[in-house]
Structure 1
């Protein structure tokens, strides 16, 4: 039985949360029509949801342009959630140092349905880095972040993802077919890599390492990315990848977390 068919599943709540997830860091507010386009919900449904979320303080509506923005209640909830991720405190210095030393953009991504969402970025100060921002979503494709996630996910976690009836099950199947190679790469070198041009439209070289926090139900992924002109894939794999793997192992020791990679099943 899927969650949507389970009588305990609150469809209205799920739709309200999808409205909140529609917002991105770069947005200057969203109209009901834009929210409807991003969520796939009817505009009439979105209007009722944004009104309710506004009454509860999760959204605010500007009197100048009628566009909705995150409200104080949502900001407070997000602050509590971010504070609960205690590993972010020691991760900051480790990943900023890595960004500076490697000249790459370092990001932290978590899964949200069929996307990986960036929740933190660390940029080198003296190098032009690729343009990825907090809130940006990475589609379900064989990018390094997804490969690292699939390598670290347990069979039960993978089964839960498959049961969500994602819009593009073929892409998940392709990732699962590549899971043994991702596990082998992690075992051999401590990271997975993806060169520019892989997947749908990756314009940058990337290396990724999973991290498992006791505060979260699934692994998260740290990734270093750079344009090919700034960091050829060979340097990413021989220099940046080992640096990222070492940084994540240090983070595991500092936070007392178990390694993010599970053993390959027989």
Structure 2
């Protein structure tokens, strides 16, 4: 967990970045009050920060009382970041094929403040919209994606995650270590993580996930495959889709060596 008491920590910068992170793909715009409610930052402070972010091009709004949207500078920054992670482009063709072959949503998620943030998706060709969009945050302890991440963290990363989850009331610190060991055994045994329906955050969603640590990234990312229970049965996920996803990620790992 970041030590905000460290004199090197720039609180104003952190608050500005939290405003940018508050936006979701489904938003049609956010007002200062909306941003304040999502971030916990007082509205007068939000007003000053949104003014500054607009002046720098990271936010935009059409007229005086219009709602804010991410601006061109944020788009440029996102594109530069995406281009710097070569594993995403390298994985693209195989992950798209896997999505088409399995009829499931394939995606990448990263850790973000105690949750798993969806950052990239591949959808089956000609499919209807599937429940998850880029920007969606999955719970750490009750999703297959979170379970896969938990299986791959270092001891230092685990301690940081435990501090975040304990502070947010997600779990007591002493209960997280057994969950980590369970996740490690799950991934080592089958090659992927899977949270059963009765423990999953959504009783309608079925998924499997595989961790991957890219050399250009400071922490693990997670590849996942998901669909509703009506679309894909658990037996299919565990017998065919999970192993296929694990092989695809292993191939990505081998090519990076």
**Shared topology, TM-score over 0.5?**
yes
Residue 72 of structure 1 is matched in structure 2 by: 72
Given the two structures, how large is their TM-score scaled by the length of structure 1? 0.90
Matches within 5 A, 1:4-43: 4-43=4-43
Residue 216 of structure 1 is matched in structure 2 by: 217
Q: In the superposition, relative to structure 1, how do residues 122 and 35 fare at CA in structure 2: closer, same or farther (>3 Å)? A: same
Give the Cα separation in 2 of the matches to 1:171 and 1:227. Answer: 31
Residue 249 of structure 1 is matched in structure 2 by: 250
Whether the 8 Å CA contact 1:143–1:202 is kept in 2: the answer is: no
Moved more, 82-91 or 154-163: 154-163
Residue 190 of structure 1 is matched in structure 2 by: 191
Residue 242 (structure 2) pairs with residue 237 (structure 1): no
Matches within 5 A, 1:82-97: 82-97=82-97
Deviations 1:148-193 (A, max 9, x none): 0010001011122234464125177644322212111211211011
Give the Cα separation in 1 of the matches to 2:218 and 2:29. Answer: 31
Moved more, 64-73 or 241-250: 64-73
Give the Cα separation in 2 of the matches to 1:80 and 1:126. Answer: 29
Give the Cα separation in 2 of the matches to 1:253 and 1:160. Answer: 29
Structure 2: runs of 5+ lacking an equivalent: none
Once the 2 structures are TM-superposed, how far is the Cα of residue 226 of structure 1 from its aligned partner? Answer: 1.1
Structure 1: runs of 5+ lacking an equivalent: 257-266
Give the aligned CA root-mean-square deviation in angstroms. 1.9
Once the 2 structures are TM-superposed, how far is the Cα of residue 241 of structure 1 from its aligned partner? Answer: 0.3
Residue 51 of structure 1 is matched in structure 2 by: 51
Whether the 8 Å CA contact 2:162–2:176 is kept in 1: the answer is: no
SS in 1 for 2:16: helix
Q: In the superposition, relative to structure 1, how do residues 201 and 241 fare at CA in structure 2: closer, same or farther (>3 Å)? A: same
Q: In the superposition, relative to structure 1, how do residues 101 and 175 fare at CA in structure 2: closer, same or farther (>3 Å)? A: farther
Give the Cα separation in 1 of the matches to 2:158 and 2:134. Answer: 25
Given the two structures, how large is their TM-score scaled by the length of structure 2? 0.93
